[in-house]
Amino acid sequence: MSKPKLVSKVKTPPFRAVHCHMTRGATKWCYGLCKPKQGMGMCGRPAYWAYRGRTQRAIANHLRAQAEKEGGEEATPAV
């Protein structure tokens, strides 16, 4: 007789799966494909890729001030 094989099929619990509207399925992590509204993604979870730190906000404000000082609007970064 052969030895029985130990097979472990671990399924992700439903509360840990992200139901993404962009990839049309349940995924284990967020790919950051959707455009967040007020810091929330289309799935209803916080959009971590949309958050900006203090340094990123300071750089964006500095670049915006430089663009306004030069009079050109084409170099204005999106915030």
56 domain-assigned: yes
Residues spanned by the domain of 43: 36-79
Which H, E and C letters describe 20-65, residue by residue?
A: ECCCCEEECCCCCCCCCECCECCCCCECHHHCCCHHHHHHHHHHHH
Total domains, the chain: 1
User: Domain for residue 16, yes or no?
Assistant: no
Whether the per-residue pLDDT at 75 is higher than 60: the answer is: no
d(CA 51, CA 32): 12
- pLDDT one-digit tens code per residue, 37-71: 888 888 888 888 778 889 999 999 999 999 999 88
CA distance 45 to 18: 9
Q: pLDDT tens-digit profile of 3-19?
A: 776 666 677 777 777 77
70 token code pair: 């030069």
